[in-house]
Structure 1
Amino acid sequence: MGHRGRRSRKKKKKRTPESQTLCHESIFVELRRWLKERGFRSKLLIPAHFSDTGRGLMATSPIAANEMLISLPEQCLLTTSTVLRSYLGEYIKRWQPPVSPLLALCAFLIAERHAGSLSKWKPYIDVLPQTYTCPAYFTDDVISLLPTGLRTKALDQRERVWELHSSAVAFFASLQPLLHEPAETVFSHDALRWAWCSVNTRTVYMKHPQSPYLSTEKDNYALAPYLDLLNHCPQVQVTAGFNQASRCYEIRSVQGCRKFHQAFICYGPHDNQRLLLDYGFVAPGNPHSVVYVDLGTLKLCLDDRDKQLPQKFLFLKEHDFLMNLTFGLDGPSWRLMTALRLLSLKPEQYASWKTVLLGAAVSKDREEGATQAALKLCKILLEESSMALKRLSLLKEGADSYLTEELSVVEFLRREEQVILGHSQKLLCLQRQPLPCQPSSEQNQAG
């Protein structure tokens, strides 16, 4: 029994990611002291570094199912109400047109970071990342390595930050009386990008009443010090929200957590493209991961001699069948195969268009045509992914630590893409049997 016990412990240790407590580090000592002054005294979770996820929170004792994971008092939360009560409040209240809730929070973070040791929020500012791996930070070279649809969204994100900064230059200049340096230096584009990413990647959802001093954009932001050290895990379930009775932001763990293991939360059922875009990371083993098929790629697998293609695309668009066309580990999605079935129909099968959208199969040869188109899509996407990985490998040579981190996230996404497409190829080939089907070299590489 003893021998089996040792083997069991060894196996268990091998499966459990290594962790190292960070409690002794000065920034976390100061953060805990600062939070204690504001009413947070729980010692159930402590900061630690984990070999698989980096910085996170570790349970110091077992957490039962549906037990409270963390309860953060309202005084610890950074919201627009906090900003309006601060020294920035009078400047925001008299500015016209009113600034957005997002800009108000960004301006406060920048001002507090600039204040340094004089900042009342210094313990929190000190634990925030110095930079992020969100697309807002990506260069053109890195963005060009992303899948087509994500590339467009990444460019949009980067452009939104530029536009926000450009539109706020005059407001930032009005804050000059608070500063010892030129406002354009303190509230630079780099500073706003850092603050924007801090807010967008770390806030929890908390609905606030409409302020007459802010624009009419929705104000659902709340930065939650310490709580935002909790990492995302797609398999975890939690309940979260602001408790009006206790005046605390509370998170309960549905499954619970073992002692000395990392405590996780779930941001939602997001695929890795969404996680990279919104939070700047990817999740290994994400069951929600898919490969998206954009319209341009979809057209590459079709017979351009089909004169009905424009009408077919219009029909699919009218019925919302040109969005969310994907491949997953379980093969092409129902929406994708339905779109391909309709696009493969012959002119004399016009009457079948509507029934195809309801899931009907028209004929054996049209099913074969849709499957062939799906296989062609796999091949096109795999080739595109392989080319991106080759260019990524070249960029890695001589890259600094920041660029290496960005490239590693993109590389993970691309390799996951190859695995998904490889599985989809195998499943589609099985559907075509007994017809011969030779896996491509990209599939073998993905496997």
Structure 2
Amino acid sequence: MLCPSRLAKLRPLPRPLLAAARRRRGVDLRCAISSSPPPPPPPPQVRLRTTSSSSTGLGMPSVDEEECGDFLPWLERKAGAEVSPFLSVGKSAYGRSLFASKSIRAGDSILKVPFNVEISPDDLLPEIRSCKVGNVAKLAAVVLKEQKMGQDSEWAPYIRCLPQPEEMHSTVFWSDEELEMIKESSVYQRTIDKKVGMEREFSVLRHALDCHLPEVSKDMKFEDFMHPCALVESRAWESSKGYSLVPFADFLNHDGLAKAVLLRDEQKQFSEVIADHNYAPGEQVLISYGKLSNAVLLLDFGFTIPHNIYDEVQIQFNVPLQDPLYEMKLYLLQRHCLQITRNFGISKCPADSFTIKLGSEIC
């Protein structure tokens, strides 16, 4: 049975054998950007490289030999099985991407990644895994450890394919001048809060690493930790281990209208993607990361999409308890299915605010 993984968290039901995985979600932003953000990335423009007929045969995007030429063969050796007969690694305007290496039909299983080649916090020493930090920070510590090991890491071919700091565009990497452009939006404050949280967790992890993995923490700066944190926040998927990085699957880019998602089969122990429509050879294959607003996409992933049907805007209706029409106003607002947020303002008087989603139906 297919069902969103978040449903399993509402009550103690048995975990479905095949569940839709979700990209790691940060705070749920309920406010659209009010000042103009940087423009969204252009439509995918595949950068074709000159390749020999024996390498692709179809003039399709080739793998960057210096960075990822050995990645897929390495992954399949590690998995002990073919991961995908349909996809190849290339580059588009979005960066690292996956393309159809041959014709794909809707319903084809285009990718299967065994759980045993996922990276999770289980790869940490118990002493570090028990640190009082979140799952993002724990998984970031794993990535940091593998980065420090360089070519000695068993994950080196994968780590080498991940975006470098200069290729990351989530708002934690923005300069003060760039952040000033979105100062009137909630993304600005969420960015500040996120960096503060990262610094707090860095301090805790740094102490644990100094004690148990000094070769990793040696000369480590906050910026060294911020990069793997952003990698996890933009690439990890929810799993039974908290969050996991799923090599190869995390090269798939997002399309808000796509119906294809990453599925997790707990019985067969692999993650899978089923094509939601036909693809011609050389066409970029896209999936959905979830029903995410542009504010969330910008904060966690560093991009926005035009005409995002999941965008949201917050209209503040403060309804003080002392308002003589409080009950009537509350009833009318609740009647229209608006989300209620309880907050306490400067006046220390409880109030309710209500979120209206763009394109939502009124009950």
TM-score (norm 2): 0.69
CA distance in 2: counterparts of 1:121 and 1:312, whole angstroms: 64
Q: Indicate the residue corresponding to 2:172 in structure 1.
A: 136
- Whether the 8 Å CA contact 1:92–1:99 is kept in 2: the answer is no
Please give the per-residue CA displacement for 1:266-301, whole angstroms capped at 9, x wherever unaligned: 0112121111112221123423334x2454xx89xx
Higher relative contact order (CA 8 A, sep 6+): 2
Q: Equivalents in 2 of 1:175, 1:16: separation in Å?
A: 44
Superposed CA RMSD in Å reads 3.1
Higher strand share: 2
Structure 1: how far apart are the matches of 2:232 and 2:44?
32
Q: Is the 8 A contact 1:135 1:157 kept in 2?
A: no
Whether the aligned pair in 2 keeps the contact of 1:205 and 1:241 (CA below 8 Å) is no
Q: Which has the higher helix share?
A: 1
Amino acid at match of 2:157: P
Could you say what secondary structure the match of 2:279 adopts?
coil
Q: Report whether the alignment pairs 1:237 with 2:270.
A: no
Please name the residue that 2:354 is paired with: 323
Q: SS at the partner of 1:258?
A: coil
Aligned to 1:383: none
Q: Give 1:229 deviation, angstroms.
A: 0.7
- 2:306 match: secondary structure: coil
Residue pair 1:149, 1:294 contacting (<8 A) in 2 also: no
Q: What pairs up with 1:356-375 in 2 under 5 angstroms?
A: none
Match of 2:299 in 1: 277
Aligned to 2:228: 195
Could you tell me which residue of structure 2 aligns to residue 63 of structure 1? 104
Structure 2 SS opposite 1:324: strand
The correspondence of residues 263-342 of structure 1 with structure 2, limited to 5 A, is 263-290=285-312, 292-293=313-314, 295=316, 311=323, 319=334, 320=340, 322-325=353-356, 328=358
**Post-superposition shift, 1:262?**
0.7
Other structure's SS at 1:156 match: helix
Which residue of the partner structure matches residue 275 of structure 2?
Answer: 253
Q: Deviations over 1:311-351 (max 9, x none)?
A: 3896667852723246x5x7xx777xxxxxxxxxxxxxxxx
Structure 1 residue 234 displacement after superposition: 0.9
How far apart, CA to CA, are the structure 1 residues paired with 2:322 and 2:180? 29
The yes-or-no answer on 1:79 pairing with 2:120 is yes
Counterpart residue type for residue 200 of structure 1: E
Cα distance change, pair 40–272 in 1 and its aligned pair in 2 (3 A):
farther
Q: Which amino acid aligns with 2:223?
A: D
The residue type equivalent to 1:322 in the other structure is S
Question: Across the two proteins, how many residue pairs are aligned to each other?
Answer: 285
Displacement over 6 Å in runs of 4+? none
Of 198, 203, 206, 1:166 maps to 203
Unaligned runs of 5+ in 1: 1-14, 209-218, 300-307, 336-357, 359-447
Structure 1 window deviating more from structure 2 (126-135 vs 276-285): it is 276-285
Q: Deviations over 1:82-119 (max 9, x none)?
A: x14xxxx25436x6x55543332211211211111111
Residue 112 (str. 1) matches residue 156 (str. 2): no
> Contact (CA 8 Å) 1:205, 1:222: kept in 2 or not?
yes
Paired AA for residue 281 in structure 1:
F
Give deviations 1:407-434, integer Å, cap 9, x for gaps: xxxxxxxxxxxxxxxxxxxxxxxxxxxx
Q: Which runs of 5+ in 2 are unaligned?
A: 1-42, 49-60, 335-339, 341-351
Q: Output the CA distance in 1 between the equivalents of 2:280 and 2:325.
A: 52
TM norm structure 1: 0.57
